[in-house]
């Protein structure tokens, strides 16, 4: 295995074994405009598994969310839309606000999750240089606007102005990106291993920005989305255009928890 791929896999393992892992999520609570109580009490919109019946309230007004803790000062919380979200900590619990196309939700994390649910580790296909693909980075004119569904049933609007085009097994393949940034291009895809050796809803793939009309897709770094590890994620699903008609035996395999 190449050193850089080994380092990438080690970083993936470290991320998923950390206190802030996706495996530590224990709740996702959609908010309503106005006041939303937080605590262990039955009348709370955000139900905590431990702690006081009333820890405080989240006040959602227009595009602002204020956290009003019991006996403390109110403060505004940033969502994950444009920056790192503001976390609110209570003992081993931590929560923050996620913005999904204008709908807000609280994502709740148990940072002591490994004490009751050990991390099972990750498995990969052997490294396969044949799945390091040099694709053409082709302009889509006019750009396409797609309504991409998520595992939580929401629709995410994506505008596609470029696509990665390559040939495999005598077939022309076109992959549409979910996002294109200055540092990376993000894809979601399915293939004939999905639901068998790999996660059924598909996998994620990130690539460096294109250079001189070419983009490098290293499927050895295809990885499971957050929803492979928790039911409290809101992952985008691959559009039909990104359903590959052949297996891609490269990258991360289906996660098998330590409980199975």
Q: Is residue 129 part of a domain?
A: yes
If DSSP codes are grouped into helix, strand and coil, which group holds residue 169?
A: coil
Q: Is residue 224 part of a domain?
A: yes
Residues 144 and 233 in one domain: yes
**Which of 141, 194, 133 is closest to 165 using CA atoms?**
133
Residues 169 and 82 in one domain: no
Per-residue confidence band for 260, with pLDDT thresholds at 50, 70 and 90: very low
Give me the mean pLDDT over the 141-159 stretch.
Answer: 86
Q: Is residue 130 part of a domain?
A: yes
Residues 40 and 64 in one domain: yes
Share of the chain above pLDDT 90, in %: 85
Q: Is residue 145 part of a domain?
A: yes
Length of the chain, please?
A: 260
Residues 92 and 156 in one domain: no
pLDDT tens-digit readout, 81-108: 877 899 999 999 999 999 988 899 999 9
First to last CA, the chain: 28
Q: Is residue 251 part of a domain?
A: no
Q: Name residue 215's beta-bridge partners.
A: 135
Cα–Cα distance measured from residue 192 to residue 96, given in angstroms and rounded to the nearest whole number: 36
Residues 188 and 125 in one domain: yes
Residues 213 and 173 in one domain: yes
Q: Return the CA Rg of the chain.
A: 20
Cα–Cα distance measured from residue 183 to residue 170, given in angstroms and rounded to the nearest whole number: 31
Residues 24 and 131 in one domain: no
Query: CATH code at 86?
Result: 2.60.200
Residues 224 and 131 in one domain: yes
Sign for the pseudo-dihedral over CA of 246, 236, 186, 213: positive
Q: Is residue 247 part of a domain?
A: no
Which helix (H) or strand (E) covers residue 166, if one does? Answer: strand 155-168
Domain of 207, in residue numbers: 3-12+121-242
- Decide if pLDDT at 10 tops 90: yes
Final residue in a domain of this structure, among 115, 133, 160: 115
**Structural domains in the chain (count):** 2
Q: Is residue 24 part of a domain?
A: yes
Q: Is residue 91 part of a domain?
A: yes
**Where is pLDDT greater, at 153 or 207?**
207
**Which of 62, 109, 103 is closest to 81 using CA atoms?**
103
Q: 131 — phi, psi (to 5°)? A: -95, 20
C-beta separation of 191 from 246 below 8 A? yes
């Amino acid at each position: 295995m190449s050193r850089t791929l080994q380092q990438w896999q080690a970083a993936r393992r470290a991320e998923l074994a950390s206190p802030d892992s996706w495996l530590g999520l224990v709740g996702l609570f959609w908010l309503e405009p106005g006041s939303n109580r937080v605590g262990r009490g039955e009348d709370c919109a955000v139900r905590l598994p431990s702690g006081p019946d009333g820890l405080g309230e989240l006040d959602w007004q227009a595009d602002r969310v204020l956290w009003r803790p019991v006996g403390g000062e109110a403060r505004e919380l940033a969502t994950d839309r444009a920056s790192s979200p503001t976390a609110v900590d209570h003992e081993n619990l931590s929560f923050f606000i996620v913005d999904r196309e204008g709908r807000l939700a609280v994502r709740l994390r148990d940072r002591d999750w490994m004490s009751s649910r050990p991390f099972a580790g990750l498995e990969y296909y052997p490294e396969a240089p044949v799945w390091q693909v040099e694709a053409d980075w082709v302009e889509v004119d006019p750009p396409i606007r797609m309504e991409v569904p998520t595992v939580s049933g929401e629709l995410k609007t994506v505008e596609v102005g470029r696509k990665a085009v390559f040939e495999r097994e005598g077939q022309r393949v076109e992959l549409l990106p979910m996002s294109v940034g200055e540092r990376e291009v993000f894809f979601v895809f399915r293939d004939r291993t999905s639901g068998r050796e790999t996660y059924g809803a598909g996998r994620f793939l990130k690539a460096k920005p294109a250079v001189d009309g070419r983009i490098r897709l290293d499927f050895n770094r295809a990885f499971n989305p957050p929803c492979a590890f928790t039911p409290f994620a809101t992952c985008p699903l691959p559009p039909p255009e990104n359903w590959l008609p052949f297996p891609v035996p490269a990258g991360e395999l289906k996660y098998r928890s330590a409980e199975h």
